[in-house]
Amino acid sequence: MRLNVAILAGGKGSRIGLDKGFLELNGRMFAEILLERFDGCNVVFVCRDKKQAETYRTKFNCNTIIDTVKEFSPLAGIHSALEHFRDYVLIVAVDMPLVRRELAEFLYRKARGYDALIPRWSDGKLEPLLACYSYTAVKEIEQCITRGVRKVSKPFENLKTLYYPIERLRVFDEKLISFVNVNTPKDLEMVRCLSTGTEDL
């Protein structure tokens, strides 16, 4: 399936002190790993500004777009991605290098007919940065941005959203490592351990 994939890379990475796309796992940068993982898909990196986009294009030979609203939140990146594709978009954070392609493809297929599909843990916690959004959500997102609402999941409270139980995704990813994201040096160590012995990483 030819997915539309938008990789959010516009964060500051202040807790780890580096653009998270440049972090390395088994000698490859996260951005490279994700580009390869979604080989054959329509992939864009959503960057915070022209300078970052230029760096990504030079370093990774990839397509880039820029946040519609500067220094807002990942919601601006999602908005920008929807305006770019004007269709369904799988959103992946650049700090999730262990995402499984099969799981992502399932989310993309399952989102048909909804404004959004957001994976949800049994305790209610959401994973809006490994989720699928429809262009039909764009107006609601704009309204939130205009009101200064930065919370990514907020616009979807008023839309036709499928909150998909994450436990059911174990068929694609037994340990659910797809959802592990790297914020700190300790997280990076954990991801390096998890990737040991994992196929295709």
Ligand X SMILES: Nc1nc2c(ncn2[C@@H]2O[C@H](COP(=O)(O)OP(=O)(O)OP(=O)(O)O)[C@@H](O)[C@H]2O)c(=O)[nH]1
**110 marked as part of a ligand binding site:** no
**9 marked as part of a ligand binding site:** yes
Give me the least distance between CB of 17 and ligand X, in Å please: 9
Give me the least distance between CB of 201 and ligand X, in Å please: 18
CA distance 73 to 67: 9
Residue closer to ligand X (CB basis): 70 or 168: 70
- Buried-exposed string 169-186: b where 16+ CB fall within 10 A, e elsewhere: beebbeebbbbbbbeeee
Give me the least distance between CB of 4 and ligand X, in Å please: 16
Contacts to ligand X by CB under 6 A: 8-15, 20, 46, 48, 67, 72-74, 76-77, 93-95, 129, 183
Give me the least distance between CB of 96 and ligand X, in Å please: 7
What ranges in the chain are assigned the alpha helix state H? Answer: 30-37, 50-60, 74-85, 101-110, 138-146, 185-195
Residue nearest to ligand X (CB): 11
State how far the alpha carbon of 136 is from the alpha carbons of 4, 31, 55, 91, 113, in Å: 15, 28, 32, 15, 10
Residue closer to ligand X (CB basis): 14 or 58: 14
**194 marked as part of a ligand binding site:** no
